[in-house]
Chain A
Amino acid sequence: MSTDDIVDDLTRDTQNAPAELLTRSFFFVCAVLSIVTTVSIVVLLVTEAAKFFSITAPLMGVEGPTASLVDFLTGTTWEIGNRKFGVLALVSATLMITIGSAIIALPLGVATAIYLSEYAAPRHRAFLKPALEILAGIPTVVYGFFALIYITPAIQTVLPGTGTFNLLSASIVVGIMIIPMVASISEDAMSAVPDELRQAGYGMGATKFDVSTGIVVPAALSGIFSSFILALSRAIGETMAVTIAAGSQAQFLNPIDPTAYQEGALPMTAAMVQLLLGDITGGGLAYRSLFAIGLTLFVITLVMNVISDLIAQRYREEY
C-alpha cells in the first residue's frame, strides 16, 4: 500500500461516504413521515368534508345530495334518515362528557400529583406510579363495559331515573381514565420546581402544607394547566367507552343541567362508530358526514393541543 493510499484513507470524507449518506437519509425519511401523516390527515379530512357541504361540493365535482354548512354548524338535530346533520347535538354530548370527566379527573389528578411529588416516600412511589400507568393502559372498551354493567346499575340505585345508557357513567369512566395523564404531567411540572424555593419556604417557618399549596402549586401552574387541556382533549377524542356507555340516540342537551347527565346521548366519536357500523356505502352522504365530524373533532383537539403547548411555553417559569 502506498503512502498516498494511507493518507487518502485517513483523510477520507466520512460525512458524505455512501454508508453515511444512506443511513442519514433513511433516518431523515423516518422523521419526515410524521409530517406526511399530518398532511395526509388534514388533506383527507378537508377534501372529504368539502364534498359533504353544499358550498364546496361543486368545487370538488360532487353531484347528488349535500348538506348546508350553516345547518351543520348551528343545527341541533342529528338524524341521518331525515338528512338533518346538526353537529351541535353531538358536540353537546361530547361537551358534557368532557365536563363530567373534568370534575372527576382534574382535582384527583392534581391531588395525586401533589402527593407523588411532595409527600410520597420513594417506596410508595415505586408502587403507585406503575399502578397509575396501568390505569391508563386498560383498553377503553373495557372501561366502557365497566360503565355499562357495573357503574350504571350502581347509579340507578341512587338516582332511579337514570337510563341504561347515560352520560354520567360514561363521564365517570372517562374521568378515571384520564387521571394518570393529569397526574403525570402535573407531577413532572412540580418536580421541576427547584428545591431552593421549598427550602426558602421552610426557612420562613412554613409547614409542608403551606409549601405545597403556596409555593409548589403556583410555581407549577403552567404545567398543571397544560396537563388539564391535554387530558380534556383526550376525553373529547375518547371513543369506545362513550360508544358503549353513552347510548346511540342523538339529542341536544343542556350541558349545565345536572339532570341531563342521567340521559343518554350521542357524542361525536360514538356517532362516527355508529355511522361506520351501519350500512354505509362509499361515496354516500352519510359516509361523507363521517369526515365532517372527523374534521370537527380534529380541529377541536388540535386547537386544544396547541393552546396547551402555548401555555406550557409562555408561562413556564425558568429557574
Chain B
Amino acid sequence: MATGTRSDDIENFGTVSKAVGTVFRYVLLAATLFGIVVLGALLVYVANDAIQPLTADPGWHLTFLLTLVLPTLGVGGYLYRRDTDALRFGATTVGMTVVTLMFAGGVGMIFVDILSPFVLLAYTVGLALPFAAVLVLQRRARRIPFLTRAGVTTLAFYGSLFGLPGPVGTAVGVPTIVPGVPGLIRSVPTIPLGWMSLTATLGLGVAALVGVYAARVRTRRAGLFAGVGALAVIATSGVLGPFVGVTSVPAVVLASVAVVPTVVYAAGTVASRPSQRVGMLVPAVVIGGTLVGEVAVGALGFAGPQSWVDWQFLTSAHSRNAIDAGLYPAIGGSILLMGTVAVLSFPLGVGAAVYLEEYAPDNRFTRVIDVNISNLAGVPSVVYGLLGLGVFVTYLGRSTGTVLIGGATLALLILPIVIISSREAIRSVPNEMRQASYGMGATKWQTVRRVVLPRAFPGILTGTILALGRAIGETAPLIMIGAPSVLFSLPTGLSSKVSAMPLQVFAWSSLFASEDFYTKAVPAGVVVLVSVLLAMNSVAIVLRNRYQSEQ
C-alpha cells in the first residue's frame, strides 16, 4: 500500500490543477468587462430611445442592409484577412470624415450665428499686416537688440489692432488719431459677401496648410499646386453651394474644414504608401452605400426611423413641449466655452509644465508646487464652481453665468490635468536631444522652443483634448457660477449668458422632469453629448497611438 501511494505521488509530481487558475482568469475577465458591458448596454438603451430604429419600415432596414451594411462587412472582412494596415487606413479615413463633419457643423454655427465672417476678415488682416512687417524687419536687420525688437513688435500689433494711441490714449484723454486696421476695414462702405471673406481667411489658411503638407510629402511644385487647388475647391463650393441646397457660408466651412482635409489626408497617404491604396475601398463603400441607400429609400418611399435626434432638435431652442425642444443654444454655448477654455488653459498649462520640467530647481518650493498640483487635480469640480462664484461674481462683481466666467472656471478645473499630461509628454523627450541642442550653443529658451516643444507636441495635444473632453462634460461648476439652465438664443460674445449641453440635459431631466422629456428630449441630448465626447476621445486615442508607434 505504502509503495503504491509513493508511486502515485511521484507520478503526480509536477502536475498542478489548472482549475483554480482558469476560474480566476475568467473571473478577472468578467470583472474587466463588467463596467464596459453595463455602459454599453445603457448606451444602447438610450440610443434606442433617442433614435427609435424600430419605427422605420422594414424596407428601409433592408435597403440599408443591402447597400451599406453587407458591402462594408464584406470589404472589411476581406481587408482584415489580407491587409490590416490598409483596413486601418480606410477606417481612419471614414472616422476622419465623421469627425471633421461634426467639427464643420460647429465651425459653421459660429460663422452663421455668432461671428460674422467679415469681422473675422477685418481682424485677420489687422493681425497679418504687423506680422508681415515684423517678419520683414527681422529679415532685413538681424542685429537689433531683443528689447527693441519686442517693443516694436508689441507696438506694431497694438497699433494695427486698436489704432494710435488707441484705448490707452482714450484712458488718459487723448482721442484716437489713426484708426486701427479692423476698424478701418469695417468702415469701408462695400463689404464683400460672407463666403468671400471666409474663403480669404479660413480657406486661405487651410490652403496654406495643405500646400505645406504636400510640399513636405512631395516637392515644392506639388505643394503649390495642392494649395492653389484647395483654395479653388473652397472658393467653388461657395459659388456652387446654393445650387445644391447649402448656403454659401456653411458650404465654404464644409469644404475647408471637412472635405479638403479628409481628401488631402487620403491622397497624401495613398501617394506616400501606395501599398495601402486598397484601403480606400472602405470609405468608398461606406460613403457610396449611404448615398445609394438614401436615394433608393427616397425612390421606393420607405420611411426612416422617427428619430428624436434630427435637424429640428439640433437647430431649435428649448421649449416646454418635449417634441419641439432643441439643443441649439446649448451646442453653441458648449463650443464657445470650449474655445475659451482651450485659449486659457493651453498656454498656462504648457507653460507650467515647461517650468517644472525644464527650469525648476530641485528645492522645497518646486516640491510644494508639485504636491499642490496633484492635490488640485483631486479637488471636486463643485468646489471649483464655488471658486468661480466667489472670486469672479462676488468679489470682482461680474455678472453671473457668462461665457468668460464659465470658461475661466472650467479652465482652472482642467489646468492640473493639462499640466500633468504635458509634463509626461515633455519628460518623454530624450535628454540627448537637449544636450545636443546645448552643445550647438543654443540657449535654454531656444532649446525649449525648437527641440523640446515640437517633439512633445503630439503628447501635449492628446492630453489637452482629453482634458477639454472633461471640461465639455462638466455641469456642476456651470450651475455654481449661475449659468442659466434655459437659454433661448446663442451667446454672442464673451460677456453674454451661456448654457451648455450637459447643463441643458440636466435641466430637462430635473427641472422639466416628465415622461415626455425622459423619453424624447433627454435621450436625444445624451446621444448628441456622448457622440461629441466619443469623437474627441477617439481623436485623442488615435493621435496617441500614432505618436507612440512613431517613437
Contacts and interface: CB of A to CB of B under 8 A. Distances in A.
Q: Do A and B form a real pair?
A: yes
Contacts of A130: 537-538, 541
A50 interface: no
A31 B356 contact: yes
A128 B358 CA distance: 34
A302 B31 contact: no
Interface in B332-373: 347-352, 354-356, 358-360, 368-369, 371-373
A239 interface: yes
A107 B538 CA distance: 28
Nearest to B393: A282
B251 interface: no
Interface stretch (A17-25, A54-62, A70-78, A252-260): A17-25
Which one of A137, A205, A240, A291 has the highest number of Cβ atoms from chain B below 10 Å of its Cβ? A240
Given A27-B351, A138-B473, A240-B506, A108 B21 contact: no
Nearest to A234: B378
Contact of B355 (A27, A183, A269, A298): A27
A139 B383 CA distance: 17
Contacts of B80: none
Contact of A305 (B20, B354, B374, B533): B374
B466 A137 contact: yes
A239 B391 contact: no
A204 interface: no
B28 A111 contact: yes
Contact of A44 (B27, B386, B448, B475): B386
B445 A48 contact: no
B382 A44 contact: no
Nearest to A110: B31
B412 interface: yes
Contact of B28 (A119, A176, A238): A119
A192 interface: no
Contacts of A145: 46, 505, 509, 522, 526
Nearest to B351: A30
A205 B14 CA distance: 8
A24 B391 CA distance: 28
Interface stretch (B37-45, B92-100, B228-236): B37-45
Contacts of A148: 509
Contacts of B264: none
Contacts, number: 261
Contacts of B21: 207-209
Contact of B518 (A28, A35, A149, A179): A149
B529 to A, nearest CB: 6
Interface in B492-530: 502, 505-506, 509-511, 518, 522, 526, 529-530
A34 B382 contact: no
Q: Give the interface SS of chain A, mostly helix, strand, loop or mixed.
A: helix
A108 B374 CA distance: 25
A-side interface size class? 35 or more
Given A237-B380, A240-B502, A294-B383, A34 B416 contact: yes
B450 interface: no
B375 interface: yes
A276 B480 contact: yes
A224 to B, nearest CB: 14
A146 B42 CA distance: 7
A239 B39 contact: no
Contact of B380 (A128, A230, A297): A297
Contacts of A131: 36
A103 interface: no
A38 B352 contact: no
A116 interface: yes
B376 A37 contact: yes
Contacts of B359: 24, 27-28
Contacts of A294: 382-383, 386
8 contacts: A30-B351, A41-B387, A119-B25, A133-B466, A134-B39, A138-B39, A149-B522, A176-B38
Instruction: Give 7 nearest A-B pairs by CB, closest first.
Output: A237-B380, A139-B473, A30-B351, A111-B31, A27-B355, A115-B28, A239-B476
